[in-house]
Structure 1
Amino acid sequence: MAENTVKDLAEAVKRPVERLLEQMKQAGLHHTQADQPVSEQDKEKLLSFLKRNSKAADEPAKITMTRKVTQQLKTDGRKSVNVEVRKKRTFVKKADVEAVAAQQANVEAEEQARLAAEQQALQEAEAAAEAKRQEVEAKRREAEAEAARQLEAEEAARRQKQEQDRTQEAAPLDAEAAQKAEAEKERRKQEEKRRAEQARKARANPVVIDVEDDVKEEVLDADVRVAKVDDKPKSKPGNRKSAGGRKTGTKREDDFDDRRLSRRGSKDDKRKGGRRAPTSGRQHGFEKPTAPIKREVLIPESITVADLADRMAIKGSEVVKVMFKMGAMATINQVIDQDTATIVVEELGHIPKLQKENAIETEVLENISYDGQSITRAPVVTVMGHVDHGKTSLLDYIRRAKVADAEAGGITQHIGAYHVETEGGNMVTFLDTPGHAAFTAMRARGAKATDVVILVVAADDGVMPQTIEAVEHAKAAGVPLVVAVNKIDKETADPERIRNELSQYGVISEEWGGDTPFVHVSAKKGMGVDELLEAVLLQSEMLELTAVPEAPGKGVVVESRLDKGRGPVATVLVQNGTLKKGDIVLAGLNYGRVRALIDENGKQTDQAGPSIPVEILGLDGTPEAGDEFTVVQDEKKAREVALFRQGKYREVKLARQQKAKLENVFSQMEHGKTASVNIILKSDVRGSVEAIIGALKDLETDEVKVNVVYSGVGGITETDANLALASEAILLGFNVRADASAKALVEREGLDLRYYSIIYELIEQVKQAMVGKLAPEFREDIVGIAEVRDVFRSPKLGQIAGCMVVEGTVYRNKKIRVLRDNVVIYEGELESLRRFKDDASEVRNGMECGIGVKNYNDVRVGDKIEVFDKVKVERSL
């Protein structure tokens, strides 16, 4: 017979092999592997070891035996169902049950002992507290008794003193006077006794007397006390309850008397001040208004019902009730317009005062004073021109030659602006703008940051497309030009060519009798730079630029950005006044307190004067380039103006989008003025541009003009879109398309951009736009004539003319004229038109009718009533 292995033994006893090997090792067996054989002697040795090491505590406290019995039941003799009956029985050692019962009895005994100890401690604490309370109560009673004795002694001394005074006063009197004094004395005693009796009764049962205006008076010790009416029944004095529900006991008389005496002085003061009339007996001291109070109510563009009620000092429900009677259903939190609020205020008997739409902004800005001594400020210059014509080189030379030599000033590329000082001590501020886009964006927002434009043209290259764009931008902004003919040191330089080409675009040099100075410069060698700055200063002197340094700061935002560490940072140019650290700045849609001022050297400064560019920190957002900034005094007002501007921003933007639409040109027409259609034209070749412009000019009439703001060759750029936005022009592309940045700007601002590939379609579209600009014409057509045969008087309708329609048809809803001897004596409308007793909308030729003329009662027999209609005549070019 084969011997079992350790693994077989583990499966038989249902234990893990590792656990069995560990126990065999503890029993002294040398088995270490699962496949080693196990003999009978090994099994007996292991069993003996396990019996020796087993303890009673390890044995189960109870044993549960389960028994299953399966039976078969037959149903109707056809089917048999197996039913399993399970029985379970649990056996517990008797010793364990007794131990558990004893342990439970001990726990219950300990709990009872603990509860008894706690109860005894609680009783002892309550007894100590009661003793302490009784001791405090005894001391209080003793103190009250002592105070009462002292009060009685003082009262007795006072009465004795009064008696002595009376005796001394009555000694010189005769017998009759002595009798009167004795009678008066007796009367006073009786009066005091009566008052004491009344006071005693009042303390027991307070008397409540109804007076006017729902007010009650409690009479106590001959004093009048006004109290609010309480509909609840009065509780007994000895059984009153506080708000918490506990009994408070009888009210102490001495505490009440102290409060009554302290209150008497304040009441007397108020009565002397006129708010209450002097009271006598049981008359109350309140007076009703003799007439209704009319208030002047300030009404903004929109206001809630609750705010309107507060301004009229009435309840909100009263305003809702009035609006309900007027037919307007409104809640107390609903916002109503200015017209509705005005009607409600007048209905309630107050005086409405309308607040203007921009009253908040006007109030804040008009309260700022810019009075003071004016000084000449430095001009602000922008350098523009074509690519590679030397703009950057010219700016770099000015920075190196002028800024480095000056005592104040510096160079910072990130700030976007800097100022230099000339040899004569004059200062010039340069704006380092990123091209035409920023320049036009500022002008589109109504800001003028630049005083003079330096147009850089290369002498060896001539006038290029971006040069023409710069000229158009400067003309549109109304800024004077100074032409810098650069690269004059080259052998191929031809300054006369520059003058000839620029003269074609309206830029005439002073040598040719114009008003534009031409200066020959060399950006690399520095030739003519001083003359260029002198020409700029000369132009600024003609402009007479002045500022008031003592006034609050005011200027324009050059650019803004969001810095990670510093938050919103705005580069501003101060145009008037002085901007200081800590000022409250209102810039476009944003506001804030200036936390730091950073000059062009990157250093912090405390203030910046006119024509000085600085960076400011502290705004709540990034304003747009070209937004005007103003220093205000009140931060709360600045926030209100900023929120008001944010609310109006959408309306302004939508109105601007609708201005440059071909479909809306008719709504832009101004009566009495020549209408114009602004166009920006870009084409693939120059010949197409000239042909289209010539065809558009042929469409012009005395009433409508075509204004080509700018035309050029090439795709539509962001610069063209900005120019269209500023000049409210229509963008037309002939065989060209807009780039990505231009498309984004067109979609964002809602500009009108149209593409064409056939020239007559372009001309037809512009022609339709010009037709929309033409003033409409109207023609009068006579549709019917009625002759008056008789005149009747009606008590309800007034004068009625009995008529016969002799021509055409008489209509009820058309204009009429009354003719007498073929002369027009009245023009108006019909009041009524009837056939027999029925109303009629029209009466044809040969029929009789009754006509009532509106607001005219002098119709006579023989008059003619002419009915006419106005017809709009479409015009064409």
Structure 2
Amino acid sequence: MSQQTTIRKLAELVNTPVEKLLEQLAEAGMKFSGPDQVVTSTEKVKLLGFLRRTHGKAERPAEEAAPRKITLNRSRKQEITVGGGKSRQTVDVVVRKKVTLVKPAEVPTADLVDEERAEILRKLEESKQRNLAEQQRLAEEDRRRAEEAERARREAEEAARRAAEEAEAAARAAAVARDEDGEEGAKPAVARKTVHKAPPPKAAEERRAPAHKHRGSHVMVTEVEDDETVSRFAGQLHLSASERARRSSSMRGKPKNKRPEPARAGAGQHGFSRPTAPVVREVAIGDTITVADLAQKLAMKGGDVVKALFKMGVMATINQVIDHDTAVLVTEELGHKAVRASDADAETALLAHVEEVQGEKKPRPPVVTIMGHVDHGKTSLLDHIRRTRVAAGEAGGITQHIGAYHVTTPKGVISFLDTPGHAAFSAMRARGAKVTDIVVLVVAADDGVKPQTAEAIQHAKAAGVPIVVAVNKVDKSDADPLRVKNELLTYDVVAEEFGGDVQVAEVSAKTGQGIDDLLDKILLQAEVLDLRAVADGRATGTVLESALDKGRGPVATVLVQQGVLRRGDYMVCGVQYGRVRALFNESGQQVQEAGPSIPVQVLGLSGVPEAGDDFVVVEDERLAKDVAQQRDAKRRESRLVAQAGNRMEDVLAQMGQGEGQQTLNLVVKADVHGSMQALREALTGLSNEQIRINVIGSGVGGITESDAMLAATSKATIIGFNVRADASARKVIENHGVDLRYFSIIYDVIDQVKQIASGVLGTEIREEIIGTAEVRDVFRSSKFGAIAGSMVVEGVIRRGKPIRVLRDNTVIFEGELESLRRFKENVDEVRQGTECGIGVKAYNDVKVGDKIECYERIEVARTL
């Protein structure tokens, strides 16, 4: 943010015609050729001084007439008693002090013009010399006072010692006299009386009563310094020397509230010295800083810093965050020096921690990413390699997040990453290309190169990863592999048979044709790359996906890249940290450790990390916590800085926009972090001039009561992507009439929001839940497999309708009913409160406590 502006903007700001402002600048001695030239701060100050002199406002007699010196007088009176018996007298001791306060010379400000600055500096130097001389004189006087006080203290101690000796001698004499003649009992009393009336020593008497004036029975003592000896013997002058010595010796061991020494009271060598020049401070500023923290470092009021920012064109409150450049400009404007704050010690310690991990590098399995256009058979190809049926359980046959697997083939161990092909999942494909060693580009032989195919090629080339092309669906009648190879030439992907370096395998995920050839090409490419990693030591790697599981808490799917990740390790993962409680492989089996290139699920983190974050295993929990908290604070400040410190020009531009733009608020909840991120970016990208899509809240996991309250207060629509609302959230939604939409395919979400954003009237497809059944028991059947003995808790379950299986309010399977029975009879529907047996087609993992949701898709006419 710059403090310079053009003549045209300055004229608009001060509400003056541009021609008149150019004339005033010319009269002030500054020539400008046009209104688009830049005016600096010095030129603005010079123009301000010229205008003040023109209007006769240069002098300020009111400030010069202000008093520059104040004299304060203080008087303290104390009464002491002298003598005893009939000769007792009362003495009034009066201590007077006189203090003169002089107003210091004014410090030159930045608003003075250059001609006045030299005169001010000269006067400031003279004032500095006078102040130094005054300080030397005051120091000399304080030193002399200290010497006199020390001398008086020594004399008082000497007098007390002599009095103690006299008292001890008198006591010994009285004891001797009592031993010599027991009948003379009056002598000790006479001796004591004599000691009682003994006059004080001459030195002490002179200090106690210097220069007194008689007024009847009272004595007026003047010119008495505020000395320690006066307060020590005040009210004890009627005592004898021995009694005073006894009391002084008894109090000598007790702590006393001594008056501060002159050097510590501010007048000695280490005392406070009045500043004679402006204090220039070095302020350490990081990437962002709040206005309150900056004011504290500058030793200024927060309002003054806010005022300086406002003069620069930045409107910020005291609690808002400003960026580094703005903080540096306002610091220099206020006369101080800004320096770059050093990076966090915790990050430095973490870096040193990672660099310490060294060891022998050994061969590791390759990490292969399957990429390509949607519905070209990526997951089916991987499914055939893994000998499982992953694609059958996916919503609409579309992969919604990254799937990570490692398989043991006859050719060796290979780790596979299956990325989505939809356009909204571009960030996921970029993450897949970032952590991979080899990219297998799947292209359908009957469809050719599509937009997501080209995007996958771009991601692979940007990451510098070799490509192996798998031409799928060659078993179809209309397959044309040669056409695919020719289309790939447009994107600089040249097959080996055309003289290039890209291996091409013709495969069929349905029949298994060419799968072995593809694996041979992958392992051959891995041998050429000579992939190695440190097999021992602390693990480092990348988060592929993350989710919030109701029963297990935050779950992160990570890919180990170096070292070995073991159960019980402390790890920091982005802004989250924790101790590894458990490790699971892709089959759900618990493992004790994971080496390089092996993907695993990690339990035990403090929160859900973001997909794409790096993780590092550290020695102890303290370092992990410090690094995570510091990253969280920096990320929070960076997020707030975009909202703080808006410029005046930006606010005026927003005020000038039309008022016809509508806002659609959304709350997006998804099952995994990658899907939530892709949905949020895809929906906000639909904004146009007529409507703005604003995602006010997003997260991972089921829809909670707080999400429903947020949507109710902001009049937002809740989008649940493969998640459901709990009971408390449904109650809030019903009471406030919140619009809740459930989706399982990203196409439906984007299409429905796009219709609203583009203003196209028509029909929309909604999924209406018609019934929910709760699984009470599971029975095994030789014909249908697992039969869920269920109770219909809501609505009705109908035969022929699609269903979903929910576990902890999260969709784990989507399919259709294979059988619906009431006792032994097949029925078409079962209503609420009735028990039934439900057979789910192609799914045998139903457990007690799961919910089976029956729904139907209906077309609803759109009304605005």
- TM-score, with length taken from structure 1: 0.38
Q: Which has the higher contact order (CA 8 A, sep 6+)?
A: 2
- TM-score, with length taken from structure 2: 0.38
